[in-house]
């Protein structure tokens, strides 16, 4: 049986059941070996038949005698040469999962130019699970353990046949078959006893590492290099602890390493990972992430130059790439940063893996065996990290822990009472729960901590029992459990010396509308930890990662109304998106486009150069609820904006709901701000009370800065007296071109063909569009007016179907008004007026002298005059194009960029 060589220390065989005498009787019946009953503990030694066999092969025999020990001590020891000449490599199960991958590992080892190399290998992928499954089947008296053992045998036979030939293959297969036959005998004993101890299970499971190490060392020897194979149970000595972990005994392990090396000196050593021995020589394992731990311990024992952990990813990421697609590989991490990130669930290294190498400042490098061009991540002491500036370098990465619950213990009777926290956590300890995070007020009035959700019931029951009297007396007000929580941790070595990190973190969460339930930060400031709702965790992770690592603003966009304005906006975005990302670090992604009948959805972003074809070919039936949900619940981008490019009041009715859900809104649609006053006030109140933004510059004057100018005047303390202007680009165009002998209906048709009119041209010609703009400006100025309060001098057009045909009926009357104005040196202009002093608004056709600014417009220009306390004698005038798809879409685009600036983009 493959246990240990004659040169290895003797092993105690783990007992098979709680009753050793019965187990001995059973084993004597099953095994074809001679057990000596004079020894209460069985020992492992090598039979004379297997002398010369290398140290990874064992047979179960009687206790080793004192002559053997004296013989071992008489051998002259060659001490291990330690220091930078050694490099340590660790290859996990994925790296040695197939014959091709084992050959690839051998090639990497051979090409490594280090003077000396020690290679730690895991079992082939899934083999350790298969070995433990054998134990479980045997204990359950499930006969299928036999066929399962055959599957393990076949896997290694096929792998060996691919890699080895001739004597090397025959030698390995002979040992493999012998091991498997003996394991079957052991499993049969377990089958009969119905029980196996943990140490016995660990011993059986360790065979996967033995076979991997033997295979790899044989393949390396094929290249003509000398290579020794180390069973680390001969060297590593560990002491089990009460927390399902082990503590290495470096002194004894170092002594045994020298002893092993004196008999197996080689510049290339392949060692088994995961397995070790107790001080009593009982086989055991290093528990979770044991192979990584093995490599780190070996690095410390050899005082190696570097430990390289080979895996299937390019290195340590700034966040879980499964949750944040834009996560980046970190070039360097300090030991403490890696430690913190691994504690909070990042797939880095187990914290204990870092401990052995820290003492000797041995760097750990995480590399991808499937992408040798990637440099990986180096984990080293802080002095080796180099000097970096800025928030991005202060925060190295983010990690999360899910499925937690918060327990909050609070009461005025806790304040100033010594030992309250001790009593709380003593009760938690008694039920064996793991406290992940603690947040406590300085007075102990409130103590809050997070535990795994599966343990929270037991914790709550223990606390209620412990503090039953205090609860009854009112000294404690409550022991509250808040379920469905997750932890988000920001980790960075330089967070302590970089001002504003926590502020930036919390601001990013606030901007993403994430509510923080608890906060914890140690004085070292290596991490800042927050607790959020579980359903918000991924969004929170993406929000903070986006703020620190990607663009200052990654925004998911949903475009409603891909008509003239919406389509033009998408075209403008296509031309500018790459420039914005490169120069301003603004990442705008259109995740959905919807019209009234069809919509186009994308998880990663609609291809803007072909969106029209995609909408036509791949569009699905429009569903506003599904559309908004898709854009808002995106898996990669924390911020969401809906851009409503319609003139639809039913779409505008959703704004309040969207803002309440944390969705920003940008729109040229006037219906929301000019609709019922109550709805407008409700909308603006919500906007002011939240971190959600609502921008609508293009509702008045297309791309002109009219609303922002008005808001700027008011915010700086100016008082608005009157706003007068030509607000309609359509009517501006019409009356600017309504001259000479031209008919009014002819000019209107020309404006419609040029795209200057509203989607429903009656809004322009009836004065309703101007009235809506007057209402918007009046409300921005503080007036509480309804649309019905605005007297309109209307052109009184017919229905939408007939008005173009009937428009010529108005030609004669309007021509007469134009002639009368011209006779007095005036022109006709259709204007809107907000009279703040008298709290009213009007829309009417007025005459202006030809030298008046309103008379000097051309094309579709708008002009607005602000008369204020500061600008009373000389009104502040804003003038420019006020109609057309290009300028309106540009106004929408400007609002989107203003949103990005508010969310943190560089200004």
Quickly list H helices, 265-377: 290-302, 335-343, 351-358
What does DSSP say about strands 377-380 and 364-368: parallel, antiparallel, or unpaired? antiparallel
Q: Answer yes or no: are the C-beta atoms of 307 and 296 closer than 8 Å.
A: yes
Pairing of strands 377-380, 332-334: parallel
> How does DSSP classify residue 882?
-
H-helix segments, 402-474: 420-430, 456-466, 468-473
How far apart are alpha carbons 314 and 842 in whole angstroms? 67
- Helix axis angle for 744-753 and 811-823, nearest 10°, is 100
Which ranges in 83-165 belong to alpha helices (H)? 99-111, 127-139, 145-163
> For residues 862 and 735, what is the distance between their CA atoms, to the nearest angstrom?
12
Closest CA to 551 of 573, 577, 528: 577
Element (DSSP H or E) covering residue 613: helix 611-618
What is the pairing mode between strands 59-60 and 86-91? unpaired
**Bridge partners (DSSP) listed for residue 60:** 44
Cβ-based neighbour number of residue 354 at 10 Å: 22
Whether the CB-CB separation of 672 and 779 falls below 8 Å is answered with: no
CB 495 within 8 Å of CB 525? yes
Residue (of 711, 656, 645) closest to 679 by Cα position: 656
User: Which residue spans within 428-570 are E strands per DSSP?
Assistant: 437-440, 446-452, 478-491, 516-521, 527-533, 553-560
CB 699 within 8 A of CB 773: yes
Is the Cβ–Cβ distance between 634 and 640 less than 8 Å?
yes
Max CA pair span of the chain: 133
244 conformational bin, left if phi > 0, alpha if psi -120 to 50, beta if neither: left
Q: What are phi and psi of 603, to 5 degrees?
A: -80, -35
Does residue 332 have an active-site annotation? no
- Pick the catalytic residue from 155, 773, 816, 850: 773
Residue with tokens 């002594």: 255
Q: At what angle do helices 166-193 and 207-222 cross, to 10 degrees?
A: 180
CA dihedral 588, 589, 591, 592 (to 10 degrees): 60
| Sheet architecture: strand order including 826-835 | 840-849, 826-835, 720-726, 861-868, 876-881
**Residue 594's closest CA among 568, 619, 570?**
619
Phi/psi of residue 162, nearest 5 degrees: -75, -30
Q: What is the DSSP letter of 620?
A: E
Pairing of β 268-272 and β 116-121: parallel
Exposed / middle / buried, residue 734 (Cβ in 10 Å: 0-12, 13-18, 19+): buried
Distance CA 367, CA 88 (A): 13
* Dihedral angle computed from the Cα positions of residues 54, 58, 61 and 66, in that order, rounded to the nearest 10 degrees: 50
The angle that helices 198-205 and 207-222 make with each other, rounded to 10 degrees, is: 20
Name beta bridge partners: 592.
558, 601
User: Token digits for 545?
Assistant: 């990662």
Report the alpha-carbon angle 837-789-756, nearest 5.
Answer: 95
Cβ–Cβ < 8 Å for 818, 847: no
644 Ramachandran zone, left/alpha/beta (phi>0; psi -120 to 50):
beta
Indicate which residues carry an active-site annotation.
773
């Amino acid at each position: 049986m493959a246990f240990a060589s004659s040169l290895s220390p003797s092993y105690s065989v783990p007992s098979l059941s709680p009753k050793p005498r019965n187990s001995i009787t059973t084993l004597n019946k099953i095994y074809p070996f001679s057990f000596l009953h004079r020894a209460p503990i069985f020992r492992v030694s090598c039979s004379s038949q297997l002398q010369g066999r290398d140290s990874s092969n064992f047979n179960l025999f009687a206790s080793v005698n004192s002559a053997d020990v004296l013989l071992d001590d008489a051998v002259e020891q060659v001490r291990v040469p330690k220091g930078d000449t050694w490099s340590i490599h660790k290859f996990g199960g994925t790296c040695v999962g197939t014959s091709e991958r084992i050959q690839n590992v051998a090639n990497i080892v051979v090409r490594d130019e280090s003077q000396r190399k020690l290679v730690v290998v895991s079992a082939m992928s899934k083999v350790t699970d298969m070995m433990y499954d054998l134990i479980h089947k045997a204990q359950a008296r499930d006969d299928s353990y036999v066929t399962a053992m055959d599957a393990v045998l076949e896997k290694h036979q096929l792998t060996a046949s691919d890699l080895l030939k001739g004597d090397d293959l025959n030698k390995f297969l002979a040992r493999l078959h012998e091991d498997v036959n003996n394991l079957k005998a052991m499993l049969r004993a377990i089958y009969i006893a119905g029980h196996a101890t943990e140490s016995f299970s660990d011993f059986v499971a360790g065979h996967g590492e033995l076979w991997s190490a033997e295979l790899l060392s044989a393949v390396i020897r094929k290249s003509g290099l000398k290579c020794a194979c180390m069973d680390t149970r001969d060297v590593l000595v560990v002491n089990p602890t009460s927390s399902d972990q082990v503590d290495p005994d470096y002194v004894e392990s170092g002594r045994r390493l020298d002893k092993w090396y004196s008999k197996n000196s080689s510049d290339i050593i392949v060692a088994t990972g995961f397995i070790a021995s107790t001080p009593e020589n009982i086989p055991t394992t290093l528990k979770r992430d044991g192979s990584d731990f093995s490599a780190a311990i070996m690095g410390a024992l050899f005082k190696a130059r570097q430990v390289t952990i080979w895996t299937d990813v390019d290195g340590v990421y700034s966040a879980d790439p499964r949750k944040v697609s834009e996560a980046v590989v970190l070039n360097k991490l300090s030991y403490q940063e890696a430690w913190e990130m691994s504690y909070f669930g990042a797939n880095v290294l187990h914290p204990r893996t870092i401990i052995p190498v820290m003492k000797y400042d041995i760097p750990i490098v995480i590399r991808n065996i499937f992408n040798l061009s990637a440099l990986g991540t180096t984990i080293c002491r802080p002095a080796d990290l180099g000097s970096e500036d800025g928030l991005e370098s202060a925060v190295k990465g983010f990690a999360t822990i899910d499925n937690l619950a918060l327990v909050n213990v609070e009461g005025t009777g806790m304040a100033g009472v010594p030992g309250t926290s001790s009593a709380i956590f003593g009760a938690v300890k008694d039920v064996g729960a793991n406290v992940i995070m603690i947040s406590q007020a300085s007075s102990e009035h409130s103590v809050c901590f997070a535990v795994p959700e599966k343990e929270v019931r037991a914790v709550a029951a223990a606390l209620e029992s412990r503090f039953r009297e205090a609860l009854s007396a009112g000294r404690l007000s409550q022991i509250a459990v808040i379920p469905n929580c997750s932890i988000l941790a920001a980790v960075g070595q330089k967070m302590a010396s970089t001002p504003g990190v926590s502020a930036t973190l919390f601001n990013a969460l606030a901007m993403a509308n994430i509510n923080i339930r608890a906060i914890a930060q140690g004085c070292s400031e290596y991490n800042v930890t927050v607790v959020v709702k579980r359903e918000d965790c991924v969004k929170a992770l993406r929000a903070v990662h986006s703020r620190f690592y990607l663009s200052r603003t990654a925004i998911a966009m949903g475009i409603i109304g891909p008509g003239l304005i919406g389509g033009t906006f998408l075209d403008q975005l296509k031309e500018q998106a790459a420039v914005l990302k490169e120069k301003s670090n603004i990442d705008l992604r259109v995740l959905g486009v919807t019209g009234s009948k069809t919509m186009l959805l994308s998880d990663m972003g609609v291809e803007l150069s072909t969106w029209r074809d995609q909408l036509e070919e791949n569009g699905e039936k429009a569903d506003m609820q599904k559309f908004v949900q898709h854009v808002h619940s995106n898996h990669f981008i924390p911020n969401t904006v809906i851009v409503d490019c319609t003139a639809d009041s039913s779409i505008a009715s959703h704004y309040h709901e969207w803002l309440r859900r944390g969705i920003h809104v940008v729109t040229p649609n006037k219906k929301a701000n000019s609709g019922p006053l109550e709805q407008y006030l409700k909308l603006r109140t919500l906007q002011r009370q939240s971190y959600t933004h609502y921008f609508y510059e293009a509702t008045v004057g297309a791309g002109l800065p009219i609303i922002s100018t008005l808001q700027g005047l008011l915010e700086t303390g100016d008082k608005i007296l009157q706003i007068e202007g030509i607000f309609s680009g359509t009517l501006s165009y019409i009356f600017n071109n309504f001259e000479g002998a031209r008919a009014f209906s002819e000019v209107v048709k020309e404006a419609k063909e040029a795209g200057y009119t509203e989607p429903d041209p009656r809004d322009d010609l009836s004065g309703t569009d101007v009235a809506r703009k007057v209402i918007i400006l009046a409300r921005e100025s503080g007036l509480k007016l309804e649309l019905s309060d605005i007297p309109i001098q209307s052109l009184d057009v017919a229905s939408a179907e007939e008005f173009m045909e009937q428009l010529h009926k108005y030609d004669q009357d309007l021509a007469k008004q134009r002639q009368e104005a011209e006779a007095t040196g005036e022109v006709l202009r259709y204007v809107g007026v907000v009279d703040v002093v008298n709290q009213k608004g009007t829309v009417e056709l007025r005459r202006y002298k030809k030298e008046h600014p309103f008379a000097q417009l051309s094309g579709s220009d708008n002009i607005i005059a602000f008369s204020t306390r500061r600008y009373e004698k000389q009104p502040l005038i804003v003038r420019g194009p006020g109609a057309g798809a290009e300028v309106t879409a540009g106004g929408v685009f400007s609002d989107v960029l203003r949103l990005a600036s508010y969310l943190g983009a560089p200004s």
